[in-house]
Amino acid sequence: MALSEDEVRHVARLARLALSDEEVAALAPQLSAILGYAEQVGEVAADEVVPTTHPFALADVTRPDERTPSLPREDVLAGAPAVEQDRFAVPRIVAEEG
Amino acid sequence: MAELTQLTAVELAARLAAGEVTAREAVDAHLDRIAALDGVVADGDVWAAKPAEELGADEPHAYLAVTAAAARAHADDIDARRAAGARLGPLAGVPLALKDVLTMRGAPTTCGSRMLEGWIPPYDATVTERLRAADVVVLGKTNMDEFAMGSSTENSAFGLTRNPWDLDRVPGGSSGGSATAVAGLMAPLAIGTDTGGSIRQPAALTGLVGVKPTYGTMSRYGLVAFASSLDQAGPFARTVEDAALLQSVTWGHDPRDATSVPGEVPDLLAGLKRGVAGLKVGVVRELQGEGYEPGVEAVFAEALERLAALGAEIVEVSLPHAPFGLPAYYLIAPSEASSNLARFDGVRYGLRVDAPTAEEMNAATRAAGFGPEVKRRIMIGTHALSSGYFDAYYLQASKIRTLIADDFRAAFEQVDVLVSPTSPSVAFRLGDKTADPMAMYLNDVATVPASLAGIPALSLPAGLAAAPDDPSTSLPVGLQVMAPLKRDDVMYRAAWAFEEATGFRPVPVGPRAVATHDATQEVR
């Protein structure tokens, strides 16, 4: 299928990517070509086939419920772009009432 | 005495064990060569690679960071324990290059991305931990396509890596830095990761042995995820035995990885040298012909004759769904990538571009931090998983995965191992495929089926072919050997017999090859 520039902008919004107009213009034909190629998968009749996500079909993988030490807080926060009061700091998430 | 940097891991380990060479000397010989050749600023505890714009056309740029002080300290510690009579592992004191997608405390992990520039992980990957426990000395972190997305190592945010055979050509990818480190004699061993061919294809293009072990046998703990159902770490080496040794000390079940396969893994060394007489070798009909360079096909045909001469029985087999492997892969891998890379949101690690709201901050950070190929794959994956498309894309591709795995299962009822060319082409020129993403993706056509089925697959040097665009340049061609799930031992056995019989151990030569001899490296 061919993706329009508007569809590219919609997908970019879903993917949280602030794309420039140039990027959108370049991506529309590239994504269309890649999806056009990938759509060959539709040529295979596979309605009754069970999908695979792991070659060994592992199920319910658990570990023993034992207490183990976590990483030290300061080590984890050391790589964060912004920290406040020993926590990750983020901008406002909920918009203010107009 | 041969230069220390030219030895295989087995040869170097033997000299270390005999006390003829110290681990410190081995490490220093490699550090000297990296400093002289690779394009690093050899200064301080961790040497940084030069910025991309300052790298010369003769600098391979295998390493992003060289952990010189830690490597020397580890080597000194090994030497002290050896001198005190401690029992050490089979690779103790042998240096190694680690792909920058696996975490190691005290050194940056960037995944070749601006997104993680400067990030120092607070923990070791399981693979890193096991290397340390085996006293394999990590020299540094190697360059790669950003987040392992690419087949040429031209997608790194920190500049491309060059092929030691011809510095104007790509080393393959995404583990191109690891391949160039070993082929360029800047480490005898390396660890890479392979999602759709990212170890095997660069190994083929640089004349090395490169292995993707059975999915689930190499822990993914501390491996920054690209496509979780496909990602596997594995060895690069100059010989089959070196690779088998490295896999032996790093693989096996890890409770910290929920996709890790429980139970024992086979012994890779016990039957390694038993030969292939009586072994049934299947030639995959669908993984040859159209799209494969004539030079690659000629070397492959010769390889089949050699295997037959060794007593292997060669039969043609069919994997009817293999042609759908690449289209399925380019839905599954980007889909999983779009989900995995959602974690790079400017909150917990790496880059942040400030903006008034959280959503704007996320979007601005991701726009600035990811390069074009990563954005492309996130977009493909987001679209493929979005409402209304999931069944036709991801689900259908996952069903094709089942059909490909069934094809392999049927084939392995007839034969012990399967073979094909590893890559449809020899190393291509820098820039040749960067403008056309689809052309780049076709590099993976022969490697992706084994990835989708999870089976072990290895590439080893099979011969040299003239570059199609320059008949005066000879470049390596890889032979891919595939085996049933958890039969990595049989795969290694076939590869060892081929290597032993051909005696072919390629060393980069040619007018534009990296220098493989340096008088200052002589052991004194």
What are the tens digits of pLDDT across the range B285-310? 999 999 999 999 999 999 999 999 99
Tell me if B145 sits within 8 A of B199, measured CB to CB.
Answer: no
Is pLDDT at B504 greater than 90 in this prediction? no
For strand B280-284 and strand B417-421, is the pairing parallel, antiparallel, or unpaired? parallel
pLDDT band, very low/low/confident/very high, at A62 (cuts 50, 70, 90): confident
Q: Please report the pLDDT score of residue B519 as a whole number.
A: 41
pLDDT band, very low/low/confident/very high, at B185 (cuts 50, 70, 90): very high
Residue among A11, A51, A71 minimizing CB distance to B395:
A51
From CA B102, how far away is CA B249, in angstroms rounded? 16
Is pLDDT at B518 greater than 70 in this prediction? no
Residue among B345, B402, B441 minimizing CB distance to A50:
B402
* Mean pLDDT on B257-285: 95
B228 φ, ψ to 5°? -60, -30
From CA B477, how far away is CA B475, in angstroms rounded? 7
- What three-state secondary structure class fits B429? strand
Contacts of A61 in chain B (CB under 8 A): 258-259
Give the pair of three-digit tokens for residue B455.
């089976």
Tell me if B439 sits within 8 A of B273, measured CB to CB.
Answer: no
Domain holding A39: CATH number?
1.10.20.60
Q: In CATH, what number does B4-253+278-320+403-516 get?
A: 3.90.1300.10
A84 φ, ψ to 5°? -140, 135
Count other Cβ atoms within 10 Å, centred on residue A63: 9
Residue in chain A lying closest to B362 (CA): A16
From CA A23, how far away is CA A5, in angstroms rounded? 10
From CA B300, how far away is CA A83, in angstroms rounded? 57
From CA B110, how far away is CA B301, in angstroms rounded? 41
From CA B239, how far away is CA B351, in angstroms rounded? 40
List helix spans (H) across A49-90.
Answer: 73-77
Is pLDDT at B516 greater than 80 in this prediction? no
Residues of B annotated as catalytic are 99, 174, 198
Residue among B229, B261, B357 minimizing CB distance to A91:
B357
Contacts of A57 in chain B (CB under 8 A): none
Give the pair of three-digit tokens for residue B308.
């037959």
Is pLDDT at A98 greater than 70 in this prediction? no
Contact B403 A46 (CB under 8 A): yes
Q: Please report the pLDDT score of residue B2 as a whole number.
A: 53
Give the pair of three-digit tokens for residue B500.
């032993």
- CA neighbours closer than 13 Å in the CB half-sphere of residue B111: 27
Contact B361 A33 (CB under 8 A): no
Q: Please report the pLDDT score of residue B517 as a whole number.
A: 61
Q: Please report the pLDDT score of residue A57 as a whole number.
A: 80
* A22, A44, A71, best to mutate vs chain B, most B CBs in 10 Å: A44
B519 φ, ψ to 5°? -60, -30
Is pLDDT at B15 greater than 90 in this prediction? yes
Residue among B327, B379, B398 minimizing CB distance to A12:
B379
* A22, A30, A34, A48, best to mutate vs chain B, most B CBs in 10 Å: A34
Tell me if B207 sits within 8 A of B514, measured CB to CB.
Answer: no
How close does chain B come to A39, measured CA to CA in Å? 7
Question: Domain for residue A55, yes or no?
Answer: no
| CB neighbour class for B520 (10 Å; exposed up to 12, middle 13-18, buried from 19) | exposed
Per-residue pLDDT tens digits for B445-496: 999 999 999 999 999 999 999 999 999 999 999 999 999 999 999 999 999 9
From CA B176, how far away is CA B143, in angstroms rounded? 7
Residue among B324, B348, B376 minimizing CB distance to A41:
B324
Contact B358 A3 (CB under 8 A): no
Is pLDDT at B322 greater than 50 in this prediction? yes
The count of domains in chain A is 1
Q: Rg (Cα) of chain A, in Å, rounded?
A: 23
Per-residue pLDDT tens digits for B350-385: 999 999 999 999 999 999 999 999 999 999 999 999
pLDDT band, very low/low/confident/very high, at B280 (cuts 50, 70, 90): very high
pLDDT band, very low/low/confident/very high, at A95 (cuts 50, 70, 90): low
Contact A55 B379 (CB under 8 A): no
Contacts of B354 in chain A (CB under 8 A): 91
How close does chain B come to A88, measured CA to CA in Å? 7
How close does chain B come to A57, measured CA to CA in Å? 9
* Mean pLDDT on B308-329: 97
From CA B197, how far away is CA B458, in angstroms rounded? 10
Question: Domain for residue A96, yes or no?
Answer: no
Q: Please report the pLDDT score of residue A59 as a whole number.
A: 82
* Nearby residues of A12 by Cβ (< 8 Å), 6 or more positions away: A18, A19, A24, B379
The chain-wide mean pLDDT, for chain B, equals 96
* Mean pLDDT on A65-80: 93
Domain that holds residue A24: 5-43
How close does chain B come to A48, measured CA to CA in Å? 9
Is pLDDT at B1 greater than 60 in this prediction? no
From CA B116, how far away is CA B56, in angstroms rounded? 25
Compute the C-alpha angle B154/B158/B164, nearest 5°. Answer: 55
From CA B338, how far away is CA A8, in angstroms rounded? 15
* Nearby residues of A24 by Cβ (< 8 Å), 6 or more positions away: A5, A8, A9, A12
Contacts of B109 in chain A (CB under 8 A): none
How close does chain B come to A56, measured CA to CA in Å? 7
pLDDT band, very low/low/confident/very high, at A53 (cuts 50, 70, 90): confident
* B123, B214, B396, best to mutate vs chain A, most A CBs in 10 Å: B396
Q: What Cα–Cα distance (Å) separates residue B454 from each residue in A56, B134, B205, B215, B518?
A: 9, 26, 23, 5, 41
Question: Domain for residue A14, yes or no?
Answer: yes
Tell me if B355 sits within 8 A of B364, measured CB to CB.
Answer: yes
From CA B281, how far away is CA B498, in angstroms rounded? 12
User: What region does B88 belong to: left with phi over 0, alpha with psi -120 to 50, or beta?
Assistant: beta
Per-residue pLDDT tens digits for B336-348: 999 999 999 999 9
Contacts of A49 in chain B (CB under 8 A): 399, 402-403
